[in-house]
Amino acid sequence: EVQLVESGGGLVQPGGSLRLSCAASGFTFSSYWMSWVRQAPGKGLEWVANIKQDGSDKYCVDSVMGRFTISRDNAKNSLCLQMNSLRAEDTAVYYCARARRYNSASGPTYLDYWGQGTLVTVSS
């Protein structure tokens, strides 16, 4: 059974940093792209970042570029999101998700398994 368990969320002041983790199990982690998606309170879903199987390619939404870094440790079946210079608008539940793609010519095109999410609150 595929399982994704996020951790690391919490309350942080504006300008602060937080590191989210996602523990994966039930599948060959190193064979899949992975993604982070967030959902602000009462709002819709927003894709945040993708990372390739071997970590060599990373992509993120413009609003977090230069502040957030996605990474992975295939030996530990772990996905991370390092969040720096946090802003109030980064307040959200952050989901880890397994990403799939149609073929090698495209990036990830859908997310087939999701974790339960971890809440990040940026407030003074």
Partner 1 sequence: QSALTQPPSASGSPGQSVTISCTGTSTDVGAYNYVSWYLQHPGKAPKLMIYEVTKRPSGVPDRFSGSKSGNTASLTVSGLQAEDEADYYCSSYAGSNNLVFGGGTKLTVL
The residues binding partner 1 (CB under 8 A) are 35, 37, 44-47, 50, 57, 59, 61-62, 95, 100, 102, 106-117
Nearest approach, Cβ of residue 124 and partner 1 (Å): 27
Nearer to partner 1, 81 or 111 (CB): 111
CB atoms within 10 A of CB 18: 21
Nearer to partner 1, 44 or 66 (CB): 44
Nearer to partner 1, 3 or 17 (CB): 3
| CA angle (84, 88, 91) in 5-degree steps | 85
How far apart are the C-alpha atoms of 57 and 72, rounded to whole Å? 11
Residue 33 neighbours by CB under 8 Å, 6+ apart: 50, 51, 52, 53, 98, 99, 100, 101, 107, 108
Nearest approach, Cβ of residue 1 and partner 1 (Å): 12
Nearest approach, Cβ of residue 116 and partner 1 (Å): 5
